[in-house]
Amino acid sequence: MQFGMFGSAQAQRGGPNVDSGAGFREFVDRNVEAESLGYHSTFLVEHHFTGFGQVSATLNLLTWIGARTTTLRLGTAVIVLPWHNPVLLAEQIATLDLLSGGRVDAGIGKGYRLNEFEGFAMPTDEADSRFEECLEVMLKAWTLDSLWSHKGQYWQYDSVIVEPSSIQKPHPQLWMGAGSPRSIKQVAKLGFNMLLGQFDSFETIAEEVDLFKSEVESLGRTFDPMSVAVARSVNIVDSSEEYDQAIDNRVSARRRTQELAQQSGFQDTREAAEVGVIYGASEYVSDQIQALQTIGVEYVLLNCPAGISTLRRFAKDVMPEFQGNAQPSQ
C-alpha cells in the first residue's frame, strides 16, 4: 500500500503582533518530516473566503514544500478550474513540475461551496461548462509546441505558445475528484486518476472503486489500483476522552463546512462524522486500513487533525504492516 497526506494549512489570524505565517511554516516543516517518515505525497485543498485561514494559494505553498523536499509528490485536492485563467494555471503547474523534478499530481475539480462561487461573482450553474473549457485549454497549453488559438465561451487566446514545458509528459499527472457515478465515469473516460473524498462509508467506497475499475477496463485499459486515492481522517488516540474530543472537533468542522458551502441535506451529526473517520488505538487503525485494502483501496491519504503526532505514530505502528503488501487485483 501507499500512504500520503491530505488537508490544509491554516494562517494565524489576529492583531498586528500575531505571526500570521506560523501555521504555514509549521505545515511545511510537517511535510518535510513526513517525507523522512516514508509518506509518498501531500495533497492540499484550495479554498477561499473561509474566515479561518485555509489555503487559497495552493501552488505557492506547494512550491515552498517542493523546495524543502526531494521525493514527496506535490498534489492538489483540488484546484477548482472554473475560478482560474487556464493558461496562467497551466504555466504555474508546469513550472512547479519543472522545478520539483516531475513531482506534481494536479488534482482538479469543479467546486461545490456556494459562498466561493458568490465571492468570485460566478454562477454555480456555469461550473461544468467552465471546468470543461478550462481543462481543454490547459491540455492544449501543455501539449502543443507551436502557436495556437482558442475561441471559447469564457476564454479567448490568439496565437499563443505556453512555457515552460513540464518534466512529466505529455503533461503533469492529472487527478480528478469524484463522488457520483456520473463523475466517476467522467474521470475514467478522461484517463485521469481518481480522488475519493473522506466522508463516504467503506461500502460506498467499495462501490466507487468497482465502478471506476469496470469503466477503465471497458475502455480497453488496465486498471491500476494506485490510480485511486482515498482520503480519510485518521487520529490515533489512547482514551475514550480523547476520542470524544476528536469527534466533537470533527462535528464542528463539518458544520462549519456546511455553513460555508450552503449545502442542503449535509449531515453534521456525530453518527455522520464517525462514518468518515478512523479514530482509535493503533491496532484499530491498522484493522481499518486492512478493511480498506480488502475492498480494493491501495492508496490512502491521511487527513490528521492531530498533525505530526499521528503521522509519526502511523508511520511507526501501522505503515510497516502494509508496505509492499498489495492485494492481488480481482
pLDDT at 199: 87
Mean pLDDT computed over 227-248: 95
Distance CA 330, CA 317 (A): 28
pLDDT at 328: 47
Contact 35, 72 (CB under 8 A): yes
Give me the pLDDT at residue 185, please: 97
Of 43-57, 66-80, 107-121, 276-290, minimum mean pLDDT range: 43-57
The one-letter code for the residue type at 270 is: R
Nearest one of 136, 142, 140, 114 to 126, comparing CA atoms = 114
Peptide bond into 305 cis (omega under 30): no
Residue 275: CA atoms inside 13 Å, Cβ hemisphere, count? 15
Taking only the tens place, the pLDDT of each residue in 26-63 is 999 999 999 999 999 999 999 999 877 689 999 999 99
What is the per-residue pLDDT for 265? 57
Q: Which residue has the higher pLDDT, 242 or 268?
A: 242
Q: Is 220 helix (H, G, I), strand (E, B) or coil?
A: coil
pLDDT score, position 38: 98
Whether residue 228 is predicted with pLDDT greater than 80 in this model: the reply is: yes
- Cβ–Cβ < 8 Å for 108, 174: yes
Question: What is the pLDDT of the chain when averaged over all its residues?
Answer: 92
The CA distance from 109 to 284, in Å, is: 33
Q: What's the start-to-end Cα distance of the chain, in Å?
A: 16
Q: For the segment 299-329, what is each residue's pLDDT rounded down to a tens digit?
A: 999 999 889 999 999 999 999 999 876 554 4
Residues in the chain, total: 330
Locate 240 and state its grid cell: 475514550
Residue 12 or 243, more confident? 243
Judged against a pLDDT cut of 50, whether residue 89 lies above it is answered with yes
Which helix or strand (DSSP H or E) is residue 186 part of? helix 181-190
Q: Output the pTM of the full model.
A: 0.93
Checking if the pLDDT of 183 tops 90, the result is yes
What SS3 state is found at 318?
coil
Phi, psi at 66, each rounded to 5°: -60, -35
Give the pLDDT band of residue 168 (cuts 50, 70, 90). Answer: very high
- Multiple choice CATH, 2-321, 3.40.50.620, 1.10.238.10, 3.40.640.10, 3.20.20.30: 3.20.20.30
For the chain, the domains span 2-321
A 10 A CB-CB count for 165 gives 15
- Rounded to whole angstroms, the Cα distance separating 61 from 50 reads 17
Closest by alpha carbon to 4, among 291, 207, 247, 304? 304
